């Protein structure tokens, strides 16, 4: 892959209401993290995929998400420092960028991407599903911080499309007999089932509004970009704020704002202005390269392309597919949440999700981002490409990069791949008109 520095781009500083409000909400969260220890609160490190935030908040814990910090490193273009430190600790360049950045951050006294020290964990909560790297990652941090791990293991769904009864019983048993008792022991607080149900009720309400926000992309023009705007919109529901009244209010207002944009026929707000003129509607498998978002989106904006469906916004849960928490089945619902994350499904189910997006969102094409350092995500992508092309008679584009390591991003190569693909779509349209 190329290692050239992407051209300097001066984007227009434009954000819609949801993006601005999200930043304020997340600032509240980061403030909680920064002052956790001085307020006498215990800190838990956990993962975004399938996180048990409602249960964690039941014990008044403060959650830290190393993946989220990694994404922030990429967006703030500070990832190189942390990645180099991680590699100096002995971890190879092909390993997960988030993991290496997490190790690198720990090596410099936990100085995070926002410029302040992230409090060290009192314990680690390992939700072992979605990604086989999680287990080793937490073993590394346990050695570093000399703290205990609480673990819940739930199997891959495979191609069943959801958790089976035996796996569900297995997960609930772990919550009852391992996770909740250990949380009580560490915090000195008793588990409150009514408090959990209230949180899950808030979660479900926010998730339903989020569902309508993401599915607004079925409109023409699409009022959102599912990857660019979507990563902002999904932030509160994927983090420590889910289940709170503030998040319920955020998604309620966001939904109304998006509905107004649909009525006005407005496109999404991008770093280069509002994308009202949409020539191509694309579905993206994988994240965008967080370290060069402007470079990536300039390619799409110049071509009048918008991403109407994205899979990376499902890594924390499949809310946009219509799955919501159920307060009447609290522990079962938490286990279903863990297993319904996108990367926890088999290749067949993931392909079906992609196909549904392409059909439902009236997409013209498919972009596959092959992420250099994420084996869980890229495994099976070539199989998905072939199957979707066969079923839909639609060619796809495949480009290689990473989610935060700029050494694996070649602006020229990515630009060439995407532009060549869009010309292929143009040719197909011309041939269709000729017949």
**Whole-number Å distance between alpha carbons of 254 and 232:** 11
Query: Could you read off the pLDDT tens digit of each residue along the chain, which spans 435 residues?
Result: 444 544 555 555 578 999 999 999 999 899 999 999 999 999 999 999 989 999 999 999 999 999 999 999 998 889 999 999 999 999 988 899 999 999 999 999 898 888 889 999 999 999 887 788 899 999 999 999 999 999 999 888 877 777 899 999 999 999 999 999 999 999 999 999 999 999 999 999 999 999 999 999 999 999 999 999 999 999 999 999 999 999 999 999 999 999 999 999 999 999 898 999 999 999 999 999 999 998 999 999 999 999 999 999 999 999 999 999 999 999 999 999 999 999 899 999 999 999 999 999 999 999 999 999 998 888 889 999 999 999 999 989 999 999 999 999 999 999 999 999 999 999 988 887 655
What tokens were used for 57? 């908040």
CA-to-CA separations, 51 to 280, 315, 333, in angstroms, rounded: 34, 10, 12
> What is the pLDDT, as a whole number, of residue 2?
43
Q: List the structure tokens of 48.
A: 């975004």
In this predicted structure, what is the pLDDT of residue 115? 85
pLDDT reported for residue 434: 59
Give the per-residue pLDDT at 162.
79
pLDDT of residue 40: 94
Q: What is the pLDDT of residue 12?
A: 53
* pLDDT for position 415: 96
pLDDT of residue 435: 52
In whole angstroms, give the CA distance from residue 42 to residue 48: 19
The per-residue pLDDT for 432 is 74
pLDDT at residue 377, as a whole number: 86
φ, ψ at 222 (rounded to 5°): -70, 130
Residue reference for tokens 């992609």: 354
User: Do the strands 273-274 and 269-270 form a parallel or antiparallel pair, or are they unpaired?
Assistant: antiparallel
């Amino acid at each position: 892959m190329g290692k050239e520095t992407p051209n300097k781009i001066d984007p227009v500083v434009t954000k819609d209401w949801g993006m601005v409000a999200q930043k304020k909400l997340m600032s509240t969260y980061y403030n909680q993290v920064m002052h956790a220890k001085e307020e006498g609160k215990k800190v838990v490190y956990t993962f975004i995929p399938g996180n048990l935030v409602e249960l964690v908040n039941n014990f008044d814990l403060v959650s830290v998400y190393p993946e989220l910090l990694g994404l922030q490193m990429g967006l703030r273009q500070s990832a190189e420092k942390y990645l180099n430190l991680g590699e100096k600790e002995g971890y190879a360049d092909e390993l997960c960028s988030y993991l290496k950045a997490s190790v690198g951050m720990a090596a410099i006294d936990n100085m995070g991407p926002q410029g302040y020290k992230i409090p060290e964990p009192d314990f680690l909560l390992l939700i072992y599903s979605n990604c086989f790297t999680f287990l080793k990652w937490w073993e590394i941090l346990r050695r570093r911080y000399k703290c205990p791990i609480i673990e819940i293991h739930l199997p891959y769904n495979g191609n069943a499309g959801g958790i089976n009864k035996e796996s569900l019983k297995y997960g609930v048993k772990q919550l009852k007999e391992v996770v909740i008792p250990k949380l009580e022991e560490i915090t000195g607080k008793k588990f409150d089932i009514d408090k959990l149900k209230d949180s899950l009720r808030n979660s479900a309400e926010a998730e339903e509004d989020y569902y309508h926000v993401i599915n607004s992309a079925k409109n023409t023009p699409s009022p959102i970009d599912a990857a660019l705007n979507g990563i902002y919109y999904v932030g509160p529901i994927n983090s420590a704020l889910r289940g709170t009244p503030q998040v319920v209010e955020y998604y309620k207002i966001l939904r109304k704002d998006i509905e107004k944009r649909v009525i006005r026929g407005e496109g999404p707000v991008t770093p280069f202005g509002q994308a009202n003129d949409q020539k191509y509607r694309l579905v993206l498998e994988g994240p965008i390269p967080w370290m060069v978002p402007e470079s990536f989106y300039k390619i799409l904006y110049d071509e009048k392309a918008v991403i109407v469906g994205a899979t990376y916004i499902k890594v924390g849960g499949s809310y946009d597919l219509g799955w919501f928490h159920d307060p009447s089945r609290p522990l079962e619902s938490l286990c279903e949440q863990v297993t319904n994350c996108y990367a926890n499904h088999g290749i067949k189910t993931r392909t079906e999700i992609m196909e549904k997006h392409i059909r439902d969102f009236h997409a013209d094409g498919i972009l596959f981002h092959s992420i250099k350092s994420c084996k869980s995500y890229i495994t099976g992508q070539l199989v998905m490409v072939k199957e979707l092309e066969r079923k839909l008679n639609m060619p796809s584009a495949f480009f290689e990069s990473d989610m935060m390591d700029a050494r694996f991003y070649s602006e020229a190569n990515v630009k060439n791949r995407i532009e060549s693909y869009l010309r292929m779509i143009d040719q197909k349209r011309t041939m269709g008109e000729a017949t």
